[in-house]
A and B are shown apart, each in its own frame.
Chain A
Amino acid sequence: MALDRWIALVILLICLTYAYTAFFTMDAGLPPFMQRNPIWPSTFPKLLSIGAIIAALAILLGLEKSTQDPSEADIDYTRLGQYKIGQALALLGLMVAYALLLRPAGFIFSTSGFLILGGVILGERKFHYLVPIAAAATFGVWYLVQEVLGIFLRPWPMFLGV
């Protein structure tokens, strides 16, 4: 089965869960005065879930034949092995780490760390360029966001209490 139909299957399962919630569990807590309304909070989700289930089934069952040449796609998953998938996964991991560390470690450390490690993952080894550029960019962005835009970004780690 092609990837797009697998995805349609996953979306179908999500939509079925959504439909179950909309049809059977959502209205339980509805206050009596709202039950007299012609429209309930679940009305629109019910309609959407029916439509989405039909569309997902249409793709899953292959009702619409694709006439497109698969090679036209801008990136081809069948050649996944030739791509640098490791680097992409490492960068995604780095982004998750950044999300978790941004508050506890402060903006300056986590951001310069992110930019340096990101460069290292992609193969940059000239640290005498990489470190100063990352540090300058971090301070520059922090200054812009904090001072010019006035949005608070904790610069230093939490334990320093700044």
Chain B
Amino acid sequence: MIEGLLIGLSTAFSIQNLLMVIGGCLIGTFIGMLPGLGPMSIIAIMIPVAISMGDPSAALILLAGVYYGAIFGGSTSSILLNAPGVAGTVATAFDGYPMARKGQAGKALTIAAIASFCGGTIGAVLLMVFAPALSSVALLFHSAEYFALMVVGLSAIAAFAGTGQVAKAILMTLLGLIMATVGEGALFNMPRFTMGLMDLQSGFGFITLAMAMFALPEALFLVMNPARSASGEGSGEIKDLRITRAEAKAIAPVIGRQSLQGFFIGVLPGAGATIASFLGYAVERNLTKGAEQAEFGKGSIKGLAAPETANNAACTGSFVPLLTLGIPGSGTTAILLGALIALNVTPGPRLMIDEPQIFWAVIISMYIGNLVLLVLNLPLIPYIAKILSVPRTYLIPFILFFTLMGAYIGQNNATELLLLVGFGICATILRFADYPLAPLLIGFILGRMLEDNFSRSMQLYDGVSFILERPMTLGLLVIALILVLLPSYRARRAKARQKGVADGD
């Protein structure tokens, strides 16, 4: 591990990569503050830039920097405007915005920055400890287990989708998998489902799809509902950034607990920063008593520190399955996975052995990224807030333009732009009906790998017998089945209990 750390240090501390971290954090913070642009959209926009750099370590460092920056920027707009740019910072607004209303915006931003820093840093330490261990286990996996593991990952994403959403999430995942079968596959040299169109020969572009699923609907919602991007009152004045020693003492245990909890939630596929932040908020609220508990929701510093720590720790945690198993746990890491594949790097257990410099450089750059965010952003907070006053008549055309550019630069094909608009309209309609879109993108990105591993095991075992002959595969598939069926079973039990019928257990 020491050797790996040294490799990582030497890679991450090159001038180019340091600039990447700093640049990524700044870009992420600035764009992340714009309401409606979450880390997924920002990373999707940045991917063409990252891919054209050609150096996978630098690209991943840049994108990771953008990711942290975006999360931090999202908290800024949550606190100042009550306009969370990302689902993961919604809980930040619960107590951050009331604090800003009370004139403590500076203090709230400082607490958010410190909590994010601690969550991110502790998360990076945990990642360093757990990733190599998990990765050595994962080396025992064959293609049959990979197939089963991806099925587990996809079912977990569907299962954590929330009550009444499981069928929709499963349908979206399958739709993503179906879209991935369009074009020529690696194992079969024949075009499938292209409807005779040459432009579909190589399948749908994943950047196009990512933009269409996230950036475009958000921009359209901003157009349709101007209240979404409305500026808050009195956000221009920010002063008094300091926190007192008593306040630091109060939030220290919160930060400690939430770093751990957030990290482990982030590791679970499908859970991610959003669930971590809400759960962190709920847990800390239940741990306090009396007057302190009543303070939650009215500007409690603990209520602000908890979700902020948890969402940053979870962001780091979500890198564990990506770097060790090659399975993304969230939409954002799914986009990162797509970028890595485009750079000819296959994340997975071999990554640590084949390309240790990438693995360790990312971890080291996580520390640097967190430091940069703390050092750079604290003094810049008042200036950063100025971007919120950019009028929407300029903001929205530019967001749309960057979406179009992102799709065009990757493929240099104008048809891609028409596909983008078409998919964007579909995605907007799906959002209206409350269909989750992240599972679709995760399914799309995992689709090729899932099919390749499935086909390989079918060929090795001459049929589906691999499911029965490999106990680990069978076990994982059973877990996947349980994950899919569990929510409906629990819903049925809750209903039975409401009726006063015995459970029978």
Contact = CB atoms under 8 A, between A and B. Distances in A.
Interface in A109-148: 111, 114-115, 118-119, 122-124, 130, 133, 137, 141, 145
B15 interface: no
A20 to B, nearest CB: 11
Contacts of B188: 34, 41
Given A68-B163, A92-B425, A122 B434 contact: no
Given A44-B454, A48-B178, A122-B392, A55 B171 contact: yes
Of the listed residues B220, B224, B392, the one surrounded by the most CB atoms of chain A closer than 10 A to its CB is: B224
B164 A66 contact: yes
B455 A39 contact: yes
Contacts of B190: 29, 41
Given A41-B185, A45-B192, A52-B175, A68 B167 contact: no
Nearest to B428: A88
B169 to A, nearest CB: 9
Contacts of A6: 433
Nearest to A41: B188
B393 A67 contact: no
Interface residues of B, number: 67
A43 B458 CA distance: 10
Interface string B169-205: 0110011011001000101101011000000000000
A66 B165 contact: yes
A11 B170 CA distance: 13
Interface residues of A, number: 71
A61 to B, nearest CB: 10
B432 A45 contact: no
B394 A119 contact: yes
B59 to A, nearest CB: 13
B337 to A, nearest CB: 20
Contacts of A51: 170, 174
Interface of A: 2-4, 6-8, 11, 15, 18, 21, 26, 29, 34, 37-39, 41-45, 48-49, 51-52, 55-56, 58-59, 63-68, 70, 73-75, 77, 83-85, 87-88, 91-92, 95-96, 98-100, 102-103, 111, 114-115, 118-119, 122-124, 130, 133, 137, 141, 145, 149-152
Given A64-B491, A102-B408, A118-B401, 14 more contacts: A8-B171, A38-B462, A38-B463, A45-B192, A48-B177, A99-B414, A99-B421, A118-B397, A122-B396, A123-B393, A124-B394, A130-B394, A149-B49, A151-B409
16 contacts: A4-B434, A39-B458, A41-B188, A49-B178, A65-B491, A75-B431, A83-B225, A87-B223, A88-B224, A91-B400, A96-B418, A115-B398, A118-B397, A119-B393, A122-B393, A133-B394
Interface of B: 48-49, 52, 162-168, 170-171, 174-175, 177-178, 181, 185, 187-188, 190, 192-193, 220-221, 223-226, 391-394, 396-398, 400-401, 404-405, 408-409, 412, 414, 417-418, 420-421, 424-425, 429-435, 451, 454-455, 458-459, 461-463, 488, 491
The 3 closest A-B pairs by CB, nearest first: A118-B397, A66-B164, A99-B417
